[in-house]
Homo-oligomer: A and B are copies of this chain.
């Protein structure tokens, strides 16, 4: 009974705003494996309240967070024998949404009208993924993080959150020009600009920018990171529907990959599951303590701006977007997202188009 409505909410684009997209048929991380224990866990995906719980065999289940009986949130109840029991009348549901008990009722509990709305789930690499369209079994699997178990690599994971749209966060994460300005001093500065080449490769489900000729870190830092010398390679990548990936390679010795799998909680609230994998010529126990505070500092500067951006869009009731070619990835990301919103499934892989531009860094 409730299913068509939830689906509608999950796919309808809000009125008049260009950059807010609701993506059907996509996998998103809803929690980490360790967050989902014996109690039901209330989460939100693209504005739809969900409840996660574990079946008797430990597999995660996800239902719309309201009992089909009387609209009480199922997350208020508890898990009994791998079934989720509503706290009001005690109706029970399995991970397929099937009603399995109706206390007091002498008939059979299983009836189509009494089903809860269910969502496909996967648990892998320490994350619980949920499929954004309810009631269907997906034909593709969630994203896998690169280099997680590669020899010589270390991993740092963090969960972040900002009051911005999925698109705003994706663009921000993969945007170069704001770094020297907003994060000025930290890893790029406004002074001493030089011109570099940017190669942009656009595919059916991704877009990538390669920065060529970017200066290497100077002095001691450069020598520490690349004792054998070599050039700096830098890629910014967007992978449908919500992965932002920044890759740095410095000579043969230094390699760092920051992969951010984002989850649109609501239109203006986005969770970021960040996985940093790296191989550096310095002892990793020495590096690791620095990664989180530096990343958090940068992220907090961005989060503050993104929140003000959201606030401004709300106050004006409209959006303004004027781009130049150094807004390298943002417009392409939005095009891919809006296409996915319309088609509801990602298109067949097409050939990659390559373009070039100049940027001052």
B-contacting residues of A (Cβ < 8 Å)? 1-2, 5-6, 9, 48-49, 64-73, 76, 87-90, 102-107, 111, 113-114, 168, 176-178, 180-182, 190, 195, 305, 308-309, 311-313, 315-327, 358-361
Q: Which 9 A/B pairs are nearest by Cβ-Cβ distance?
A: A104-B177, A2-B320, A90-B181, A104-B326, A68-B322, A105-B324, A66-B312, A5-B318, A113-B322
Central interface residue in A71, A89, A102, by most chain B CB within 10 Å = A71
Q: How far is the CA of A71 from the CA of B105 in the complex (A)?
A: 53
Contact A177 B89 (CB under 8 A): yes
Nearest-CB distance from A153 to chain B (Å)?
32
Q: How far is the CA of A188 from the CA of B281 in the complex (A)?
A: 69
Q: Among B48, B107, B312, B360, which residue has its beta carbon within 8 angstroms of that of A71?
A: B312
Contact B176 A309 (CB under 8 A): no
Contact A1 B321 (CB under 8 A): yes
Contact A320 B103 (CB under 8 A): no
Contact B308 A9 (CB under 8 A): no
Q: How far is the CA of A312 from the CA of B361 in the complex (A)?
A: 49
Q: How far is the CA of A195 from the CA of B103 in the complex (A)?
A: 12
Contact B105 A320 (CB under 8 A): no
Q: Contacts A103-B180, A361-B104: A71 and B325 contacting too (C-beta < 8 A)? A: no
Copies in the complex: 3
Central interface residue in A76, A106, A178, A320, by most chain B CB within 10 Å = A320
Nearest-CB distance from A31 to chain B (Å)?
19
| Chain B residues positioned under 8 Å from A88 (CB to CB) | 178, 181-182, 305, 309
Contact B71 A313 (CB under 8 A): yes
Q: Contacts A106-B360, A308-B76: A6 and B49 contacting too (C-beta < 8 A)? A: no
Quick one: closest B residue to A178, CB to CB? Answer: B89
Nearest-CB distance from A239 to chain B (Å)?
22
| Chain B residues positioned under 8 Å from A90 (CB to CB) | 177-178, 181, 190
| Chain B residues positioned under 8 Å from A325 (CB to CB) | 105, 107
Quick one: closest B residue to A102, CB to CB? Answer: B324
Q: How far is the CA of A321 from the CA of B312 in the complex (A)?
A: 35
19 pairs, CB–CB < 8 Å, chain A vs chain B: A1-B320, A2-B320, A5-B318, A64-B316, A69-B321, A69-B322, A69-B327, A70-B309, A71-B316, A72-B309, A73-B312, A90-B178, A103-B360, A104-B176, A104-B360, A105-B326, A106-B358, A106-B359, A107-B325
Q: Contacts A102-B326, A104-B361, A360-B105: A87 and B305 contacting too (C-beta < 8 A)? A: yes
| Chain B residues positioned under 8 Å from A103 (CB to CB) | 177, 180-181, 190, 360
Central interface residue in A113, A177, A317, by most chain B CB within 10 Å = A177
Nearest-CB distance from A309 to chain B (Å)?
5
Nearest-CB distance from A83 to chain B (Å)?
15
